[in-house]
């Protein structure tokens, strides 16, 4: 049974973020001690060791298993899509939701491949957000509702979470968000998304610049940035990542749009993404820049730029592998192996 | 039932390598056409698309599934271990074989995690190779037998192969092999293996240099390099990789030692590793240099340096994910999605 989200406005959501606890240091210590006893040279599993200890700390268990990974895709439509910022028409958002429901998309295959339960939440697809070059994308009531959809979508029995998205136009929204949060030249944050041409890229740059100019007064408030420049699916991802923190569920971050949602949380509260690992670095060039700003090193770098949670879902394999080793291997003493 | 290996000496093995066929171009073409129709922007799955088409080409099937991945660990003991080149005593080779058999090692967990069948072949552990600073490591009869053990170990019903190894002292043997094959400064090929200190590193350098000096006359013959500087488990890995080629089984290469074995094949015959992808790049620094020389770009870079096939086993997840997408996704026409 789902609970009502424990916030009814942005101030309450911000207070919730600020009040979250950190990793369980006792579990980190116990997991580190176990790691040192396993039948391998010290450090020989590289980042798998670090990931296993991090995961153990958040799960408050020195030797946890990953039994119930979950992937949730949020879909939303963007008023800004009317400005011609995408290579695909806006109706593709809904068509792809149907494709997710029918099992035909990349994320369906990857979720099945790594044993993750997949669900899809479409947020008011028939009511796109406002075009952010003309008005705030959402009202406070709308963004709070979208955050709550994300918050409520997380299965509290999950032990690993991936959030993905579908929303024609949403790399434009994500570029505007991260440009607002991290500053710098707009051209460094705007990329080709699903594959626009040079003229499309110039148009997308113009749109982001106009959006930032129109909303110049609120750019120092991360949750207002989300409200004015974001989208429902982006807010929902932020809500789900926050819920995962409340439930001690580690999160694998996906690509550029997921990380724009996550960046809103990180800019709101220091350490808000300590329960998150970066699943991959996308071919959308600004994603690497977002990860640097978050101080997150990606697990994979395979040139994906699909969204849907696909890169993070692929990284479920790495995290599962790390925990399988950590929690399943014998110690030197158990195996009767000389430890050097 | 196993067949006798189709070679009885190194000349026959070399001739076999030289006679292998290439990828099935018709399957590559069909798989590429399918890839272009899948419900995603062109290229949005990055290297997963390239891997899927490569795999399809070797399997002669436009939309194959990966149903039976196989991991084989070969273990051997090295005479050169008596020179103190490892942080671990030589008896650890056999202790770890027992650990593999008992299910307690990293490779057991990773194989299970990615649905791969694991087997272990210990090659005459009670008869280490000769110390290559004093004599050829193996006779021709010994190296041919080890190649045949590898050749025969491959299950011809497998559809993806990882070969791993265990052998105290074998990074020294691998460094000598790749230094012989690729030339250059010995210091660039010798690393810390399982974790030797600075004095150990200097000793290992001396040992490799002495080996290359003693066998200077045969360094232009890759199979003689394997014979004089290699080990039984390294030869067996080469034999298994060759068998996979004969059976159209794609291979994921593991780290430094696996790639030293593979390099022997590549230097023997151009294109001998076309059916292989590099699973990861190891923290053993010379591994990256070997991959560059082979023109192989690793799928993963997570700082592993364990051997056992562990990095390649982790990459099974990536290759499975690639094929799950390629063969499981709907096309634009099937899903009724507008293709831009």
Sign of CA dihedral A2, A8, A9, A14: negative
Q: Does the beta-carbon distance from A300 to B303 stay under 8 Å?
A: no
**What's the structural domain count of chain A?**
1
> Residue A2 pLDDT more than 60?
no
Q: Per the domain annotation, does A55 fall within a domain? A: no
Measured between alpha carbons, how far is residue A124 from residues A93, A128, A283, B129 in Å?
11, 7, 29, 70
Give the mutation candidate from A44, A160, A340 for the B interface (greatest B CB count, under 10 A). A44
Please name the member of A99, A283, A318 whose beta carbon is closest to the beta carbon of B46. Answer: A283
Q: What is the DSSP letter of A4?
A: P
Interval B222-242: pLDDT, tens: 999 999 999 999 999 999 999
Q: Per the domain annotation, does B142 fall within a domain? A: yes
Interval A198-234: pLDDT, tens: 999 999 999 999 999 999 999 999 999 999 999 999 9
Q: Using alpha carbons only, what angle is made at residue B315 by residues B314 and B318, rounded to the nearest 5 degrees?
A: 120
Please name the member of A318, A320, A325 whose beta carbon is closest to the beta carbon of B106. Answer: A325
A3 pLDDT band, cuts 50/70/90, is low
Interval B56-112: pLDDT, tens: 999 999 999 999 999 999 999 999 999 999 989 999 999 999 999 999 999 999 999
CATH number of domain containing B109 = 3.40.50.10210
Q: Does the beta-carbon distance from B314 to A317 stay under 8 Å?
A: yes
Q: Does the beta-carbon distance from A113 to B318 stay under 8 Å?
A: no
Tell me which chain B residues have a C-beta less than 8 angstroms from the C-beta of A36: none
Please name the member of B99, B318, B330 whose beta carbon is closest to the beta carbon of A39. Answer: B99
* Beta carbons of B203 and B256 less than 8 angstroms apart: no
Tell me which chain B residues have a C-beta less than 8 angstroms from the C-beta of A89: 338, 340
> Residue B340 pLDDT more than 90?
no
Q: Does the beta-carbon distance from A106 to B40 stay under 8 Å?
A: yes
Helices (H) and strands (E) in chain B, counts: 14, 5
d(CA A312, CA A163): 8
Tell me which chain B residues have a C-beta less than 8 angstroms from the C-beta of A281: none
The Cα diameter of chain A in Å comes to: 70
* Beta carbons of A311 and B315 less than 8 angstroms apart: no
Residue of B nearest to A297 (CA): B302
**A–B interface: beta-carbon pairs under 8 A:** 201
d(CA B204, CA B190): 7
Please name the member of B195, B317, B337 whose beta carbon is closest to the beta carbon of A99. Answer: B337
Give the mutation candidate from B40, B67, B73, B256 for the A interface (greatest A CB count, under 10 A). B40
Percent of chain B with pLDDT over 70: 99
Tell me which chain B residues have a C-beta less than 8 angstroms from the C-beta of A45: 106, 304, 306, 310
Please name the member of A88, A328, A330 whose beta carbon is closest to the beta carbon of B340. Answer: A88
A1 pLDDT band, cuts 50/70/90, is very low
Q: Does the beta-carbon distance from B39 to A99 stay under 8 Å?
A: yes
Active site residues of A: 308
Beta strands in chain B (DSSP E): 69-75, 117-122, 160-166, 251-253, 276-278
Q: Per the domain annotation, does B11 fall within a domain? A: no
Q: Does the beta-carbon distance from A46 to B335 stay under 8 Å?
A: no
* Beta carbons of A325 and A38 less than 8 angstroms apart: yes
> Residue B3 pLDDT more than 70?
no
- Nearest to A69, CA basis, from A19, A118, A11: A118
Interval A253-312: pLDDT, tens: 999 999 999 999 999 999 999 999 999 999 999 999 999 999 999 999 999 999 999 999
Q: Using alpha carbons only, what angle is made at residue A95 by residues A91 and A96, rounded to the nearest 5 degrees?
A: 115
Measured between alpha carbons, how far is residue B2 from residues A121, B70, B150, B152, B157 in Å?
53, 16, 12, 6, 12
Residue of B nearest to A51 (CA): B302
Q: Does the beta-carbon distance from A321 to B91 stay under 8 Å?
A: no
Q: Which residues, in sequence order, are bridge partners of residue B161?
A: B70, B251
Tell me which chain A residues have a C-beta less than 8 angstroms from the C-beta of B109: 321, 324-325, 328-329
d(CA A281, CA A294): 13
Please name the member of B44, B102, B335 whose beta carbon is closest to the beta carbon of A102. Answer: B335
Helices (H) and strands (E) in chain A, counts: 14, 5
Measured between alpha carbons, how far is residue A239 from residues A140, A259, A271 in Å?
14, 13, 16
The C-alpha of A124 sits at a distance from chain B's nearest C-alpha, in angstroms, of 19
Residue of A nearest to B330 (CA): A104
> Residue B2 pLDDT more than 80?
no
A194 pLDDT band, cuts 50/70/90, is confident
A338 pLDDT band, cuts 50/70/90, is confident
Q: Which domain holds residue B188?
A: 72-322
Average pLDDT, chain A: 96
Please name the member of B45, B102, B317 whose beta carbon is closest to the beta carbon of A335. Answer: B102
The C-alpha of A142 sits at a distance from chain B's nearest C-alpha, in angstroms, of 28
Interval A229-260: pLDDT, tens: 999 999 999 999 999 999 999 999 999 999 99
Q: Which residues, in sequence order, are bridge partners of residue A277?
A: A252
Q: Does the beta-carbon distance from A46 to B303 stay under 8 Å?
A: yes
> Residue A192 pLDDT more than 80?
yes
pLDDT in the model for residue B114: 98
CB count in 10 Å sphere of residue B334: 14
Q: Per the domain annotation, does A328 fall within a domain? A: no
Phi, psi of B167, deg, nearest 5? 180, 100
Active site residues of B: 308
Give the mutation candidate from A42, A65, A104, A284 for the B interface (greatest B CB count, under 10 A). A104
The C-alpha of B235 sits at a distance from chain A's nearest C-alpha, in angstroms, of 24
Residue that is written with structure tokens 């670090």 in the block? A50
Q: Per the domain annotation, does B252 fall within a domain? A: yes
Q: Which residues, in sequence order, are bridge partners of residue A253?
A: A278
The C-alpha of A132 sits at a distance from chain B's nearest C-alpha, in angstroms, of 23
pLDDT in the model for residue B1: 38
Q: Per the domain annotation, does B295 fall within a domain? A: yes
Per DSSP, helices labelled H in A67-160 are 91-102, 106-113, 140-153
Give the mutation candidate from A109, A196, A287 for the B interface (greatest B CB count, under 10 A). A109
Phi, psi of B49, deg, nearest 5? -70, -45
Q: Does the beta-carbon distance from B314 to A310 stay under 8 Å?
A: no
Q: Per the domain annotation, does B293 fall within a domain? A: yes
Q: Which residues, in sequence order, are bridge partners of residue B201?
A: none
Q: What is the DSSP letter of B296?
A: -
The C-alpha of B311 sits at a distance from chain A's nearest C-alpha, in angstroms, of 9
d(CA B200, CA B191): 10
Q: Per the domain annotation, does B333 fall within a domain? A: no
Give the mutation candidate from B36, B41, B197, B307 for the A interface (greatest A CB count, under 10 A). B41
Q: Does the beta-carbon distance from B43 to A337 stay under 8 Å?
A: no
């Amino acid at each position: 049974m789902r609970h009502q989200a424990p916030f009814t406005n942005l101030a309450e959501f911000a207070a919730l973020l600020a009040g979250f606890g950190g990793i369980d240091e006792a579990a980190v210590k116990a997991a580190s001690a176990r790691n040192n006893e396993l039948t391998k040279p010290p450090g020989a599993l590289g980042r798998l060791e670090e990931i296993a200890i991090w995961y153990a700390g958040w799960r408050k268990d020195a030797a946890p298993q990953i039994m119930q990974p979950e992937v949730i895709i949020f879909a939303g439509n963007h008023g800004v899509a009317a400005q011609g910022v995408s290579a695909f028409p806006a109706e593709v958002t809904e068509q792809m939701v149907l494709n997710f429901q029918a099992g035909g998309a990349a994320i369906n295959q990857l979720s099945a491949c790594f044993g993750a339960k997949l669900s899809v939440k479409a947020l008011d697809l028939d009511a796109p957000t406002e075009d952010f070059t003309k008005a705030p994308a959402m009202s406070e009531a709308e963004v709070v509702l979208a955050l709550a959809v994300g918050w409520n979508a997380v299965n509290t029995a999950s032990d690993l979470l991936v959030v993905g998205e579908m929303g024609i136009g949403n790399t434009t929204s994500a570029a505007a968000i991260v440009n607002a949060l991290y500053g710098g030249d707009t051209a460094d944050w705007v990329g080709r998304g699903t594959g626009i041409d040079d003229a499309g890229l110039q148009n997308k740059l113009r749109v982001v610049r106009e959006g930032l100019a129109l909303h110049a007064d609120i750019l120092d408030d991360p949750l207002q940035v989300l409200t004015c420049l974001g989208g429902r699916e982006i807010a929902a991802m932020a809500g789900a990542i926050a819920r995962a923190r409340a439930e001690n569920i580690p999160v694998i971050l996906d690509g550029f749009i997921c990380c724009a949602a996550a960046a809103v949380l990180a800019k709101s509260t220091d350490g808000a993404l300590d329960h998150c690992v970066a699943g991959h670095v996308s071919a959308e060039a600004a994603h690497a820049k977002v990860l640097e700003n978050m101080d997150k090193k990606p697990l994979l770098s395979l040139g994906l730029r699909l969204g849907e949670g696909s890169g993070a879902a692929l990284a479920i394999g790495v995290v599962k592998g790390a925990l399988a080793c950590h929690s399943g291997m014998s110690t030197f003493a158990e195996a009767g192996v000389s430890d050097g």
